[in-house]
């Protein structure tokens, strides 16, 4: 995650005017002579990027070509926008699209502000040992495999689990949460909070340390209490971090935790739980309509890209902070 002052990615240098071209070529040669060892170190990583990152991007052409298992990985014949039209006319696609937007939206709305609040609360703690313990404990869920998280959820939410024990203690009827579509979103977002709230505070806590103490001093002289110091000094101080993280979150908004949904859902909860990525997983890899699924995946990735770019643009225009 590079914040603000990173270089613009892959800005291709504008074509130099003809008289200078010769000189330019020479500097490349010089650069290679001087730094060939550096370039050679970059070789393996570049091969990695070419094969495992850019290879699949190019592989997306199968969204426009008929793909035959065992045939060319880039497909056999052009079919144009056939697969794109197919999913645009597919009601199940729009159903999972809506599910994704709702789940992603809920996650963003709930999981984005909570780490800020927790960071502010932690920031008010004076006893450093206590603060350190709280931090250690709240970071812990971040390091668990999603399989473990889902396993824990299943134990907690089973009919014999703690949540139903509590409901039972109050005389309520047991609820099989994971079999009920109306509970899926709550379960998903709740567990997402558990996993991310602590870890999410790190960047804010770091940003909080860079708020100048003299600003608090000045605010106090102006008669500001604790609350107004937070509102007028602390929050503006961490605003760039907030905006950067918001941009990143918006960009990944449609990639709602695919692995977690895949582990957590079942046919009984498809109605609310099925999202674009799980749908394309079933269509593509379970039912083997690879081209159709690739078309959906490409669409999803492009939306993600457009969303990051526009969030970035908006924040640069409106608040002067951007990722690059």
Partner 1 sequence: MVTTRIDPERVLRGPSRGRETRGTRVFGAFNTVFLILLCALMLYPFITVLAQSFSSPGAINAGQVSFWPVGFNTDTYAAVMQNETFWRNYGNTVLYTVTGTAIAMVLTTTYAFVLSKPHLKGRKVLIGIAVFTMFFNGGLVPNYVLISSLGMKNTMWAIVLPGAISVFNLLVMKSFFESLPKELEEAAQIDGLGWYGIFGRIVLPLSKAVIATMILFYSVAFWNDWFAAFLYLDKTELFPVTLFLRNLIAGASTTASEGAAAAGTTTALVSSNIQAVTMILTVIPILCIYPFVQRFFVTGVMLGSVKG
Binding to partner 1 by residue 179, rule CB under 8 A? yes
Looking at the chain, how many residues does it have? Answer: 324
Q: How far is the CB of 33 from partner 1 (least distance, A)?
A: 11
Nearer to partner 1, 107 or 241 (CB): 241
Binding to partner 1 by residue 39, rule CB under 8 A? yes
Look at residues 316, 318, 293 and name the one whose alpha carbon lies nearest to residue 86: 293
Range 118-137, binding partner 1 (CB under 8 A): 118, 121-126, 128, 130-137
Nearer to partner 1, 221 or 318 (CB): 221
Is residue 247 within 8 A of residue 315, CB to CB? The reply is yes
Q: How far is the CB of 156 from partner 1 (least distance, A)?
A: 6
Considering only 14, 209, 286, 318, the residue that binds partner 1 (CB under 8 A) is 209
Q: Which stretch binds partner 1 (CB under 8 A): 59-67, 78-86, 90-98, 102-110?
A: 59-67
Q: Which stretch binds partner 1 (CB under 8 A): 15-23, 47-55, 85-93, 95-103?
A: 47-55
Element (H, E) at 245: helix 235-251
Q: How far is the CB of 9 from partner 1 (least distance, A)?
A: 4
Is residue 247 within 8 A of residue 306, CB to CB? The reply is no
Considering only 106, 116, 263, 314, the residue that binds partner 1 (CB under 8 A) is 263
Binding to partner 1 by residue 86, rule CB under 8 A? no
Q: How far is the CB of 30 from partner 1 (least distance, A)?
A: 8
Q: Which stretch binds partner 1 (CB under 8 A): 77-85, 94-102, 103-111, 263-271?
A: 263-271
3-state secondary structure 87-109: HHCCHHHHHHHHHHHHHHHHHHH
Look at residues 60, 58, 118, 112 and name the one whose alpha carbon lies nearest to residue 84: 60
**Distance between CA atoms of residues 316 and 322, nearest Å:** 5
Element (H, E) at 239: helix 235-251
Binding to partner 1 by residue 113, rule CB under 8 A? no
Is residue 108 within 8 A of residue 253, CB to CB? The reply is yes
């Amino acid at each position: 995650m590079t914040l603000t002052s990173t270089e613009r990615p892959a800005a291709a240098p504008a074509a130099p005017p003809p008289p200078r071209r010769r000189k330019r070529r020479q500097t490349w040669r010089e650069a290679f002579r001087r730094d060939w060892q550096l370039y050679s170190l970059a070789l393996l990583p570049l091969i990695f990027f070419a094969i495992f990152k850019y290879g699949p991007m190019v592989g997306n052409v199968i969204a426009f070509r008929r793909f035959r298992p065992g045939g060319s990985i880039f497909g056999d014949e052009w079919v144009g926008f056939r697969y794109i039209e197919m999913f645009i006319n597919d009601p199940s696609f729009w159903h999972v699209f809506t599910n994704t937007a709702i789940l992603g939206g809920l996650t963003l709305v709930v999981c984005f502000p909570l780490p800020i609040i927790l960071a502010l609360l932690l920031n008010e703690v004076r006893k450093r040992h206590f603060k350190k313990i709280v931090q250690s404990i709240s970071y812990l869920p971040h390091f668990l495999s999603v399989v473990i998280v889902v396993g824990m959820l299943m134990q907690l939410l089973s009919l014999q689990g703690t949540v139903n024990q509590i409901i039972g203690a109050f005389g309520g009827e047991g609820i099989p949460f994971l079999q009920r579509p109306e509970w899926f979103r709550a379960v998903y977002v709740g567990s997402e909070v558990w996993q991310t709230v602590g870890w999410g505070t790190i960047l804010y806590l770091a940003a909080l340390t860079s708020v100048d103490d003299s600003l608090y001093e000045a605010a106090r002289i102006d008669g500001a209490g604790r609350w107004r110091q937070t509102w007028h000094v602390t929050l503006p101080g961490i605003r760039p971090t907030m905006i950067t993280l918001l941009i990143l979150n918006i960009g990944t908004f449609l990639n709602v935790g695919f692995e977690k949904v895949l582990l957590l859902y079942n046919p009984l909860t498809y109605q609310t739980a099925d999202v674009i990525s799980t749908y394309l997983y079933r269509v593509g890899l379970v039912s083997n309509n690879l081209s159709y699924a690739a078309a959906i995946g490409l669409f999803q990735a492009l939306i993600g890209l457009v969303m990051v770019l526009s969030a970035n643009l908006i924040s640069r225009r409106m608040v002067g902070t951007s990722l690059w």
